[in-house]
Structure 1
């Protein structure tokens, strides 16, 4: 398993669960200094990412780009994939495709989280799920050209009426015609929704494509009550060799949150 940390470039999300906030260059250099393997970037849109410059920063630091988030599509632009309006849904899909294209240059995945539709989205649940499936079909097929999957994240019940558990996520992915969508299993959301996080990961098996490595209170790993031994054992059991990515509040501050996560990562993966 490999280490990863989130960098946010979205001012509207300040105060949210992203660790580093000091811009790409400073954040990438600091992540490299601490020994991280990769970064996950949350950007307002592809227009703020200079792919050549980002590539040079990553190469200099010896880091990979693990993923690009699409959440700003909702947080900043109020686009959601389950919008009742067909024109807005297509706008949302186009936004996702731009993120896929940018990430794909780096062999990285795009993540669908809050763009799936928030807890208060309009329309009935079955229709909303149908719209989400259509978007995942589109995004998964689009991502295939880069030989990377599209990553879909089940959220807790307070953030979505779509998939809230790994089992529900797996069931939805199995219903798709594309085989190029995988699950992001966020330990914070799982702590709310799953009876057993470890059992859910084992049941998720091959569908588990990315992990958000965070504690029960959304603080960095080790600052809540999450029990990580069974979780790491479950991930090893399913042969997971992807990223454990810190998507946590920058508590007590970004630099210490990054250091705490790396200490925890080394403890749990090297023991």
Structure 2
């Protein structure tokens, strides 16, 4: 049975000690830790989650515009990933470091120069990130986002094309059920086409709620994961209902709602993930 985790950013700025205890009590196996290199002490984070018997599976990056046509802005983004790689190493997780997720600037939905130029810049920046990560013994997954969050790499086919151009042995694809619900005509078929290039799988229902609260066919997607022999974790990236999809703090009581959503999702996925 695959391990199951959740993203920590969904709890807003909750102390990691509280998050670790909640995740443990819900019955998850680990987390995708927010790569807040300025506010989270990686040594402490590694110890806190390990003490609860939890694994840090992967890292959600902070926003960084790796395909911006302005070289200064683009270099600032690359520098963030360099610092993030050093930060991840300090987590000191054995036997392997968490994966690092990579994507363009969330909410930038159109090119500043041209699509062609910025696609080229995305390839070059991803190459640099993968090279730095490979030198540190870290694998990278590129998250495929929907068109309302990014104008680049919105389908799994486009993700495969990126991998072909980057040619980095430590680069794979992060497929997200919520984003696939928007962009893929048949998510399960698309997952099978990704095959061995799938490095991580995120799960939220079609309304970004708990598994079973929307119309996503998770049975077919889990079957696809089985068919391609995906052995990685399933990471929940859900949100309490309410406005502003880029802010998980929906007001008073949202964490209680999240806890119930996570419990419901664990039950639903474990029923399928046997």
TM over 0.5: yes
CA contact (8 A) 1:6 1:20 kept: no
Residue of structure 1 equivalent to 2:238: 248
Residue of structure 1 equivalent to 2:37: 46
| Residue of 255, 258, 271 corresponding to 1:267 | 271
| Residue of 175, 187, 197 corresponding to 2:177 | 187
1:59 aligns with 2:60: no
Matches for 1:1-271 after TM superposition, within 5 Å: 1-8=2-9, 18=10, 22-43=14-35, 45-70=36-61, 72-73=62-63, 79-104=64-89, 105-106=92-93, 107-115=97-105, 118-251=108-241, 253-270=257-274
SS at match of 2:32: strand
Deviation of 1:213 after TM superposition, in Å, equals: 0.9
C-alpha distance after superposition, 1:135-184 (max 9, x if no partner): 11011111113433111111111222211111111011011232211111
C-alpha distance after superposition, 1:58-104 (max 9, x if no partner): 1210011111111x32xxxxx41111110110000110122222224
C-alpha distance after superposition, 1:6-48 (max 9, x if no partner): 112xxxxxxxxx25652211011111112211111224x3122
**Distance of 1:256 and 1:206 partners within structure 2:** 33
Deviation of 1:53 after TM superposition, in Å, equals: 1.3
**Distance of 2:149 and 2:38 partners within structure 1:** 27
What is the RMSD of the two structures over their aligned residues, measured on CA atoms? 1.7
CA contact (8 A) 1:214 1:248 kept: yes
CA contact (8 A) 1:7 1:19 kept: yes
SS at match of 2:135: helix
Q: Taking structure 2 as the reference length, what is the TM-score of the superposition? A: 0.87
SS at match of 2:8: strand
C-alpha distance after superposition, 1:179-218 (max 9, x if no partner): 2111110111111111111100000011111111110111
**Distance of 2:232 and 2:115 partners within structure 1:** 32
C-alpha distance after superposition, 1:104-133 (max 9, x if no partner): 443101111343772134111111111111
* Counterparts in 2 of 1:117 and 1:165: CA distance versus 1, 3 Å: same
Deviation of 1:236 after TM superposition, in Å, equals: 0.5
SS at match of 1:48: coil
CA contact (8 A) 1:81 1:131 kept: yes
**Distance of 2:211 and 2:113 partners within structure 1:** 37
Point out where structure 2 has 5 or more consecutive residues left out of the alignment.
242-253
Point out where structure 1 has 5 or more consecutive residues left out of the alignment.
9-17, 74-78
CA contact (8 A) 1:116 1:162 kept: no
SS at match of 2:225: helix
* Counterparts in 2 of 1:101 and 1:264: CA distance versus 1, 3 Å: farther
CA contact (8 A) 1:21 1:254 kept: no
Residue of structure 1 equivalent to 2:248: none
